[in-house]
Amino acid sequence: MAGSVVVLDPVTAAELRRRERAAFVDGVAVYQASLAELGRADRHALLSLASLEPGRALLDVCTGPGWVAIEAAQLCPGMTVTGVDMSPAMVDLARAHASSQRVAATFAVMDAEQLEFDDASFDRVMCGWGLMHVPDPITALSEMARVTRSGGLLATSVWGPASGTVQGILAEALREGSQGRAALDYGYLTRLGDEAVISDALADSGWCDSRMQLLQREFVVAEAEMVWMGMGGGTTFGTLVADLEERDQDAARSAFVKRCEAYRQPDGIHVPMSQMLVTARR
């Protein structure tokens, strides 16, 4: 997926859903360990754009472990907060987190492309690091617009351009190493990272007055192999690599390590994790 195709074809969409459902069952612990603290500052940056207000109703789509929803409820106790995710395992985790934090937030299993809410049910809709996992982001954004009241606000974050994210580096290495034999092009994760692409998707789905901010982030590792190994278990990327023949796995890993050397500094490899923060009005 080297281009900027936003809506995945039916075959690719089915493969993505199948793999992500499986990965999120097996990878709850991995996701929790890798992003609970690493993503805290980025969640707060997104929440700062959401104009949280007491008495408002907020929907967090693709809530995952519920961090955005829970932190929104903590920042603004007077809000009604609901989180939805397609993964029952993630929803169970979100409920457990909310209970442990004594936060009044409601969570449900739900597809972002088929939100089971009445029209104009919410004042704020958020989606942190989730929209790029949806096969048809335009349908998902249209559903978010449908359930948002007039004048309501959307705040979402997606991975930035492929050239500025580790996901893009992984996708390129997988393409190169597998010679196109991987079951799914991992580039789906960065297909919304272009400002023009996400702007058009918002306009096509009923949102207006969109604003984008590219947030540059990075993390430092001693060797690229550490990132490769970390992505190997409990992730969609890990399932794609595991299905390859050993020679293709080795070639993809070597390609990734080689590409990461371009980011080496004296204290280690500065792995890029840029993301786009987006807001729009209903």
- Sheet with 122-128: list strands edge to edge: 105-109, 80-85, 57-61, 122-128, 148-159, 275-281, 208-215
- Give the separation between CA 101 and CA 70, rounded to whole angstroms: 8
Q: What is the percent of the chain with per-residue pLDDT over 90, rounded to a whole number? A: 80
* pLDDT for res 230: 83
Assigned token pair, 55: 């008495």
pLDDT of residue 37: 55
Give the pLDDT band (50/70/90) at residue 1.
very low
Q: pTM for this one?
A: 0.92
Cβ(58)–Cβ(88) below 8 Å: no
C-alpha distances (whole Å) from 118 to each of 108, 125, 157 are: 15, 14, 24
Where does the pLDDT of residue 3 fall: very low under 50, low under 70, confident under 90, or very high at 90 and above?
A: very low
Q: How confident is the model at residue 2 (pLDDT cuts 50, 70, 90)?
A: very low
**Mean pLDDT, rounded, of the chain:** 91
Q: Is the predicted pLDDT of residue 32 greater than 60, yes or no?
A: no
Chain segment 223-246, per-residue pLDDT in tens: 999 999 888 776 889 999 999 999
Give pLDDT, residue 235.
84
Per-residue pLDDT reduced to its tens digit, 184-195: 999 999 999 999
